Amino acid sequence: MPEYSIGFAQEMSKASNAIVDAGFDSVDAQRAVLYIGLVSCEIAIKAALEKAGIPIVKVKASHHNLATLLKLLGTCSVLLADSQRRVSATCIRSIVVNDAYVNATIGNLLEAENLGASRFPNEVRYGDFLEHYPAALIACLSRKVVDWVNLHNDHIEAPI
Reported as a single tens digit per residue, the pLDDT across 16-68 is 999 999 988 888 999 999 999 999 999 999 999 999 999 999 999 998 999 99
Task: Report pTM.
Answer: 0.95
Reported as a single tens digit per residue, the pLDDT across 36-50 is 999 999 999 999 999
Instruction: At 99, give phi and psi (nearest 5°).
Output: -65, -20
Where helices occur in the chain by DSSP H, the ranges are 6-22, 27-52, 56-61, 66-73, 106-110, 122-125, 135-152
Instruction: At 105, give phi and psi (nearest 5°).
Output: -100, 160
For 89, which DSSP code? G
Reported as a single tens digit per residue, the pLDDT across 102-134 is 899 999 999 999 999 999 999 999 988 899 999
